[in-house]
Structure 1
Amino acid sequence: MDYVPAILLSALAMTAIVGGRYLLSSGFFAWLTRRVRPGQYDPLQPQIRREIRWSLLSAAIYGVPAGIVAWGWQNAGWTRIYTDPDLYPLWYLPLSLFLYLFLHDTWFYWTHRLLHQPRWFRLAHAVHHDSRPPTAWAAMSFHPLEAISGAVVIPALVIAIPIHVGVLGLVLLVMTVMGVSNHMGWEMFPRWLVHGKLGKGLITATHHEKHHESYRGNYGLYFRFWDRVCGTDIGLADTGSRFAAPPRGKRVGG
């Protein structure tokens, strides 16, 4: 059992990394919000403090499986993470990126729908929806039960599916940026993208804000695929939302 202290140390290190990544990414988008939408977060300071507390607890929960997997990759060969780009064909790099994002999105969609069942919502998911409206600090504001459901998916994927360490870093970057930007209360992407062909398949803040307004539909994380297949996609023009995607630089709602 000599490896137990090393695994615990790895879990602590990953907790610090996940927490630092959250503070840096959410802090950056909160700063950007203050620049682009002055005063938007001013009345929400008590809510923001609550979001940060829940998010740092979630970071600790995410750090445990991440730390175990990181130790296993470096010391025991538990994972399918590889560093040699010649180990698989070059075309596998973008394929593995899409595969990870799609499988993560699939897990998120179905667990998210489950969390909206009344019992699970009251037990866990209500913590996330206590952010009304959500801010850039809310991306990891989860009850521990919800945090556990999100913390296991990437570790499970790296054990099952080969991925280059650089592509894994890109997966984590996409996960972080989309998780934060989709909650920050305004649309940073231009209207032509959000309402164009690309926007019909991707989730941005405009799409996810509808979920936080109506508490139903738009359950995906990256893609609108499962929402469209399952009839839970709330179109961007389907509700009288205060959150229509504005031209860049225009304040949401007026």
Structure 2
Amino acid sequence: MEAAMELAKQALSQISLVPLYGGGFWVAFTQLVVFYYSVGALLHSVLPRFIPVHGIQHQQRKRGEVLRDAFYSIGPLAVKAGVWAAVEQLHARGLTLTYTGRLSGWTAWLYVALCVALLDYLHDTWFYWTHRLLHWKPLYVHVHYIHHKSKAPSAFTGYSFHVIEALIVFANEVLVCFLFPLHLGLHRAYHLYTTLIHEGGHVGYELAPFIPTFAGVAALALRGARPCAALNTVQHHDMHHRFPTKHFSLYFTHWDRLCGTLHPTYDRDLFSYFTPAAAAAKGQQQQQHEEEGGKGQQQQNGVAAAVKAANGVKHE
């Protein structure tokens, strides 16, 4: 046992995060493009062929939507690469709390784990409040509307948004470099990993409880396949694309609960989704679909449609 632990320590001491960073914009952009589109293809096309997936929505994606989202993602990927290149330059000038070198010993790796947990919380908080900002009418109409073109999102919807939105969303990747000591390789690895989270959150079928976050792994170990109401699911964000005034968070549900932006049927629908009674789950989804359709009809046709409906007149 002691020999095995010693081997593990030696292995950890030899691991270097250096290859993950360096090289400026084009290296970062290449990393992002390869990762984003390969993971997107895996989640969108490959995984559903080999495992049974339960689609969240009834409605089908419109023809060309997936290709459109894949194309729109190029701009945000370039912005994110630019952010990473800027972080490298700030580090080179000694202006941040980032550091480099080999991670040696269990205390160094324990600190890395602590950093990941802290990054999860900060990322979720930043995402919630900037997401609400993006739903402010001037920003929604001119910027965030691109992301909401996808009513039935796919993995490639993850970064399908305006470059201005990308600057807002990815700004936290610079800010965290000034908050606490952070290994530059961990910074790159973590924010590459968040690309997976954004893609997985839009995939259109439920991945929970197999979502690879610290909290997700802990919940899986403690609760098994039962959903955890404190953690986001794919269904959580998928509902945001149908109910745009609800569900602004990324990893956790506490901000939505505290700020009153959690959909009133979310908890009920979430647990029904994970029960063997698939028919009941589909019934809940159908109810949501009808509710969405009713709201959309009123918004589209205005007060006249509402008056006609109140008077029992069928609106064509």
> Which of 263, 269, 273 in structure 2 is aligned with 1:245?
273
What does residue 141 of structure 2 align with?
122
CA offsets 1:207-242 (integer angstroms, 9 cap, x no match): 11121111112101111121122122225546879x
Question: Which residue of the other structure, out of 87, 108, 123, is the alignment partner of 1:104?
Answer: 123
Gaps of 5+ in 1: 1-8
More helix by share: 2
Identity %: 27
Select the residue among 24, 48, 62 that pairs with 2:38.
24
Residue of 99, 106, 109 corresponding to 1:81: 99
Kept after mapping to 1: 8 A contact 2:36/2:196? no
CA distance in 2, matches of 1:125, 1:147: 10
1:156 aligns with 2:196: no
Q: 2:87 aligns to what?
A: 69
Aligned length: 241
Specify whether residues 19 and 89 from structure 1 end up closer, same or farther in structure 2 by C-alpha distance, changes over 3 A only. closer
| Counterpart AA for 2:243 | S
**Bigger Rg over Cα:** 2
Q: CA separation in 1, counterparts of 2:67 and 2:111? A: 42
Q: Provide the C-alpha distance between the structure 2 equivalents of 1:105 and 1:190, rounded to a whole number of angstroms.
A: 18
Classify 1:53/1:89 alpha carbon distance in 2 versus 1 (closer, same or farther; 3 Å).
closer
Work out the CA distance in 1 between the residues paired with 2:141 and 2:116: 34
Q: Distance in 1 between matches of 2:225 and 2:151?
A: 23
Once the two structures are superposed, residues 113-134 of structure 1 have per-residue CA deviations (whole angstroms, 9 ceiling, x without a partner) of 0111222111111110101111
TM-score, L = length of structure 2: 0.65
- Taking the aligned partners of 1:89 and 1:13, their CA distance within structure 2 comes to 27
Q: CA RMSD in A?
A: 3.3
> Do the aligned residues in 2 keep the contact of 1:101 with 1:171 (CA within 8 Å)?
no
Query: Are 1:180 and 2:194 matched, yes or no?
Result: no
Q: TM-score, normalised by structure 1?
A: 0.80
Which range moved further: 133-142 or 26-35? Answer: 26-35
Q: Which residue of 1 aligns with 2:161?
A: 142
1: CA distance, partners of 2:175 / 2:204: 31
Q: Unaligned 5+ residue runs, structure 2?
A: 1-22, 211-222, 284-316
Q: CA deviation at 1:41?
A: 10
Comparing 93-102 with 140-149, greater Cα deviation is found at 93-102
What is the identity, as a one-letter code, of the residue corresponding to 2:126?
A: W
Residues 131 and 111 (structure 1), Cα distance of their counterparts in 2 relative to 1, 3 Å cut: same
Aligned partner of 2:66 in structure 1 is 48
